[in-house]
Structure 1
Amino acid sequence: MVKRLLMVGLLVVCMASIASAVTVGKVTLPDSITIAGENLVLNGAGIREKRVVLVNVDIYAAGLYLKSKTTDAQAIIDADESMALKIQIISSLISSERFVEAAVVGFEEATGGNTASIQKEIDMFLSVFAEEIKPDDVFDIQYVKGVGTKVYKNGKAEPEVVVAGMPIKKALFGIWLAPRTEKAMQNLGKDLLGIAGK
């Protein structure tokens, strides 16, 4: 009887952990996280793909966490409230240099080319990616109202950097949510908004 109860208990725990996570490709993302004492829910998740010799290669998985779900990209970009992006590297094709290059293009497109006023903040953010990037590296980009954008790497307790200001926050989340010229980023943006295929 005790053995049966233990088995049932173990099954319930396993089912609960499965229910509280979302799998994107081969990456499992939690369906909610807590930052600065606030619970955030997974708004959407997707894979950043790269076309390599006629084949789509999975580069990284990303999940967007908000206080409440929405499909309004501009509202998310403009909101002065806690939110987060979780990025897990999948492919060895993404190097530090390539990630930074892609982020620079993203900042340019998200701001309409008006990066001069936040260049110092952009440089602070990009400094996190100066070290070698490897498959399974996880970056947590968390905006906390009144504090700024914190970037954590591989679950460390302390952030690699804290970048203050709404302009950099808006540009940063705009990399994934603002209109982009590259189809792969357009698709990922839809996934993060939970509107893929709509």
Structure 2
Amino acid sequence: MKKLSILFIVFVTFISVNSQTKVGDATLPNTVKFNEEKLIINGAGIREKFFFDIYAGALYLKKKNTSASTIAKADETMAIKLHILSGMMSRDKMASALREGFKKSTNGNLKPYNKRIEKFIGFINNEIEVDQIYDIVYEKGKGSIIYKDGVEKGYVTGLDFKEALFNIWIGSKPADKGLKKEMLGN
């Protein structure tokens, strides 16, 4: 009976360890659920700046895909998870990075997005701390939602906004080319 109990514990430990992905100092789940839809990790990596790990990022989709443009244009539930790893990431730096990311992802054509960009950035209204987790989720029929530590902070409508938002990480001018490659599973 004792051997059976030990085998059961080893089995449960093995299953729980294999349901997560270790990325730097972060442990990210292999599956998440938003809008009652199960998403699987497509790929994950580290956003680095000046040799510092800023955050672990992961892309979650309904099924794996390596085509950035197909992913960005898809009108289906998907998510990007950001696990903050450095105190160097502040609210102001995140806001600045998002504005710069939108500028790049829209090739400078910000006019149709400006009000929604500022609304979205406004949902990050508290200082960012190490080990906080931000989920940027697109839910079909609702829009682009931001969650902080599992709590919805707000959302912005529009598939066009979602495409520009996701292209910050996976577009032709991504925030971090290495992270893009890892998120796409390459």
- Deviation track 1:153-178 (CA, whole Å, cap 9, x = no partner) reads 0122xx10011111110110010011
Q: Which amino acid aligns with 1:150?
A: I
Is the partner of 2:112 in helix, strand or coil?
Answer: helix
Is 1:186–2:181 an aligned residue pair?
no
CA RMSD of aligned residues (A): 1.2
Kindly tell me the number of residue pairs found equivalent between the two proteins: 186
TM-score computed with the length of structure 1 as normaliser: 0.90
Unpaired segments ≥5 residues, structure 2: none
Q: Which amino acid aligns with 1:9?
A: F
**What is the distance in 2 between the residues matched to 1:133 and 1:37?**
28
Contact in 2 for aligned 1:89/1:138 (Cα 8 Å) = yes
Is the partner of 1:91 in helix, strand or coil?
Answer: coil
Pairwise CA distance, 1:130:
3.1
Q: Which amino acid aligns with 1:14?
A: T
Unpaired segments ≥5 residues, structure 1: none
**What is the distance in 2 between the residues matched to 1:162 and 1:20?**
29
TM-score computed with the length of structure 2 as normaliser: 0.96
Is 1:87–2:82 an aligned residue pair?
yes
Pairwise CA distance, 1:10:
1.3
**What is the distance in 2 between the residues matched to 1:33 and 1:133?**
22
Matched residues, percent identical?
Answer: 40
Pairwise CA distance, 1:4:
2.5
1:124 corresponds in structure 2 to: 119
Pairwise CA distance, 1:181:
6.8
